[in-house]
Chain A
Amino acid sequence: MSFITAYCQISEVTCSVNGNVVVQKNEQSVDTWFKQLYKELALEYPKFYKMDMLAQAGFLGSEFIKKGYPDLIPSYSDDEIALLFANSESSADTDIRFRDSYQDRKSPSPSLFVYTLPNIVLGELAIRNKFYGENMFAVFPKFAPDFFLQYGNIMLASGAKAVLAGWLGILEGRVEVSVFLIEENNGDGLPFNKENIIQCAGWGDQA
C-alpha cells in the first residue's frame, strides 16, 4: 500500500507544508519570493542562485518536505527514491529569458540555455540529494492526477521504494507548485489515490 506522507504547496504568496501555511510572502522585502523561501530554510547551498525558477521551485518544495522529515533521505538507499515531475508549460519561463538573451545582437547565455529543458530540475534534486534512481518529466495541458497515480505506481512496482513527485507550474510570474512524497509503508499519511493527489497537489482544472 502506498501513501502520500508529506506535501508542500507554493503559490505566488504562500508556502504550505502538509496543509499548513508556513511562510507568507513579505511584500515589503527587497528579496524575491523564492529568495525569501530559501532564506526561511536557512540552507547553505549557493547553487540555488544559479537555478532557474522551475528548478528552484522543485528544490524549495522538496527541501520544505525534508525539513519536516529529516529521516527521509537516510531511510532509503541512493536509487530507491524516484523522481516524477510534470507541468503544462515545460521550461517556457526560461526559454523566454534565453531567447531574450540573444536578441538585439546580444550573445546567447550558456547558463540560461542549460535550463531550457524541463528535466533539469530532476538533475538538481539528484545532485542535492545524491539520488541515482529513476527520472521522468512529462508535460500535460492541465494538472494530471491520473498520470501521477499510474506512473507513481509503475515506479513503485519497478524497484523504487518512494517517489518524490511534483507539479511545477511556473511561467512569467505565475507560481502553481506542489511537491509530494509517496511512500510504501504501514499506513501513515493519506492513501495514494486520485482524490488525495488532487487535494495535496492539484492546481486549477484537472486533465
Chain B
Amino acid sequence: MESLKEDLKKHIIEQLNLEDLQVSDIDDDAPLFSADGVGLDSIDALELIVLMEKFYGIQVTNPDEGKEAFLTINTMADYIEKKRI
C-alpha cells in the first residue's frame, strides 16, 4: 500500500505538471482539491481520471464518482485497491 501511494504521488506530479512539488511534499491525507492542500482544480480532476486508466486500468465513467474517490491520496489508494483488476 505504501509503494502504491508513493507511485501514485509520482504519477500525479508528472501527469499534472506539479513541477515544484516532491513526493515528500504531498501528505497522504492532504485535501487534494483544497487551496490549503495540494490545490488541484477541475481540469486536474479530469486528468486524474485519465491517470486511473493509464496506470491502473480503471475506467471512471462519471466525473462525480471521481470527486468522491479523489479527496486525498489515502482515498485514491483505497479506490484503486478496490477497483483494479
Chain A residues within 8 Å of B, Cβ to Cβ: 35, 46, 49-50, 106-111, 114
Contacts and interface: CB of A to CB of B under 8 A. Distances in A.
Interface of B: 16-20, 39, 43-44, 46-47, 50, 53-54
Nearest to B20: A46
Given A46-B18, A46-B20, A49-B17, A107 B54 contact: yes
Contacts of B44: 111
Nearest to A101: B50
A111 B47 CA distance: 7
5 contacts: A46-B39, A49-B20, A111-B46, A111-B47, A114-B43
Main secondary structure of the interface of A (DSSP, over half): helix
A110 B44 CA distance: 8
Contacts, number: 30
Nearest to B50: A107
A119 B53 CA distance: 30
A105 B54 CA distance: 10
Contact of A49 (B18, B43, B47, B54): B18
B43 A111 contact: yes
Contacts of B43: 50, 110-111, 114
Contacts of A109: 47, 50
